[in-house]
């Protein structure tokens, strides 16, 4: 019944000029910056940096948590998430694994899809000495009691390329992500083949090709794709949140989600039901914090 309600409400939510209430989440004063909100079946996943300077290769300064979501958008007690890379199933063991920079949960499969940074051990030169050799890869694992286990890479990215910020369909069999296969940072799609028992070769989403750097795509109900990029000419100033509806199998031209955007960086949106969600923004601070929003029924036009 919930999915039916989502299907009925989403067209109204995203394409009418409803008014939104936006507020800073009280948890936002913890950590240097708070980003990466993702729904975990009644809980919210999020990441924060504990220091100003992010680390490329360790998780010492980057931590993932999940908290129960209250009716008013407040977050309950936090549970830290650990990643069991020691028993990973990566293609080889000649890598130094970096921090996980994005998470998305598949309710259907119970898996966490993520992107993380890594570098070959032979190229590892220290804390930031080998930045040009660092690559982003997409992986998947199972969350059990706060620990992500059975970690493995999804073989959809070539050695010289970067793939990051995955979002997954409701059935867990389609991944949309950002990659630099053609020199830019565009959206690609890969599908799971039950016959071949592997992921298909990524294909670009041509109708959403952009000259700008795309980040944090999020599939909603398999019919709406939300993501962020900076459009100096038509945007509000910095990164804005955009939305594209899928009609008859084709993604429509993206629209600026004006009600949520500001003159600052706004990105990483996640919907938790048909009226509420979270995103990150630096509109009130020098670094991104977590914000909660919902439709204000009394302000509808």
Give me Rg for the CA atoms of the chain. Answer: 19
**Which percentage of the chain shows pLDDT scores above 90?**
48
pLDDT > 60? residue 151: yes
Contact 293, 22 (CB under 8 A): yes
Is 115 within 8 Å of 142 (Cβ atoms)? no
Q: What is the pLDDT of residue 12?
A: 35
Q: What is the Cα–Cα distance from 14 to 216, expressed in whole angstroms?
A: 18
Backbone angles phi, psi at 175, to 5 degrees: -115, 130
* C-alpha torsion sign, points 135, 141, 111, 290: negative
| pLDDT (tens digit per residue) in 94-106 | 555 567 888 999 9
Structure tokens at 3: 């999915």
pLDDT of residue 234: 81
Q: What is the pLDDT at residue 50?
A: 65
The tokens describing 208, both together, are: 């959403």
What average pLDDT score do residues 145-167 get? 90
What rounded mean pLDDT belongs to the chain? 81
300, pLDDT greater than 80: no
pTM of the model: 0.85
């Amino acid at each position: 019944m919930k999915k039916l309600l989502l299907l009925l409400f989403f067209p109204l939510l995203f394409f009418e000029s409803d008014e939104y209430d936006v507020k800073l989440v009280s948890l936002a004063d913890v950590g240097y910056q708070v980003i990466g909100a993702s729904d975990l079946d009644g809980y919210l996943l999020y990441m924060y940096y504990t220091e100003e300077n992010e680390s490329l290769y360790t998780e010492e300064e980057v931590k993932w948590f999940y908290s129960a979501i209250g009716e008013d958008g407040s977050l309950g007690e936090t549970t830290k998430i650990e990643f069991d890379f020691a028993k990973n199933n990566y293609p080889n063991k000649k890598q130094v694994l970096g921090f996980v920079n994005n998470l998305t949960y598949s309710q259907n499969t119970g898996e966490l899809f993520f992107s993380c940074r890594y570098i070959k051990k032979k190229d590892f030169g220290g804390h930031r000495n080998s930045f040009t050799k660092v690559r982003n890869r997409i992986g998947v694992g199972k969350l059990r009691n706060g620990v992500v286990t059975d970690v493995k890479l999804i073989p959809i990215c070539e050695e010289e390329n970067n793939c990051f910020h995955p979002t997954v369909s409701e059935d867990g069999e389609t991944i949309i992500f950002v990659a630099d296969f053609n020199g830019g940072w565009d959206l690609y799609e890969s599908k799971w083949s039950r016959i071949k028992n592997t992921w298909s070769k990524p294909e670009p989403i041509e109708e959403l090709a952009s000259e700008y750097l795309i980040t944090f795509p999020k599939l909603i109900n398999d019919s709406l794709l939300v993501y962020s990029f900076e459009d100096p000419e038509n945007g509000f100033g910095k990164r804005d949140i955009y939305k594209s509806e899928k009609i008859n199998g084709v993604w429509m031209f993206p629209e600026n989600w004006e009600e949520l955007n500001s003159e600052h960086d706004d990105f990483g949106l996640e919907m938790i039901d048909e009226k509420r969600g979270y995103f990150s923004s630096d509109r009130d601070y020098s670094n991104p914090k977590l914000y909660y929003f919902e439709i204000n029924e009394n302000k509808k036009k």
